[in-house]
Amino acid sequence: MPYLATGRRVAIRPFTPADGEEFTAAARASTGLHRPWLFPPRTAEEYARYAGRFDQEPGPAGFLVCGLADGGRIAGFVAVNNIVHGAFRSAALGYGAFAHAAGRGLMGEGLGLVIGHAFGPAMGLHRLEGYSPRFLYVDGDWRDHERWAITAEERPAR
pLDDT of residue 37: 81
pLDDT of residue 131: 57
% of the chain beyond a pLDDT of 90:
67
Q: What does the DSSP assignment read for 81-114?
A: EEEE-TTT-EEEEEEEE-GGGTTTTHHHHHHHHH
Q: Is the pLDDT of residue 132 over 80?
A: no
- Bridge partner residues of 79 (DSSP): 62, 94
How far are the Cα atoms of 45, 112, 114 from residue 95, in angstroms, in the given order?
20, 12, 11
pTM for this one?
A: 0.85
In angstroms, the CA 117 to CA 108 distance is 14
pLDDT in tens, 4-30: 999 999 999 999 999 999 999 999 999
pLDDT in tens, 28-63: 999 999 988 889 999 999 999 999 999 887 889 999
Query: What is 5-128's CATH topology?
Result: Aminopeptidase (3.40.630)
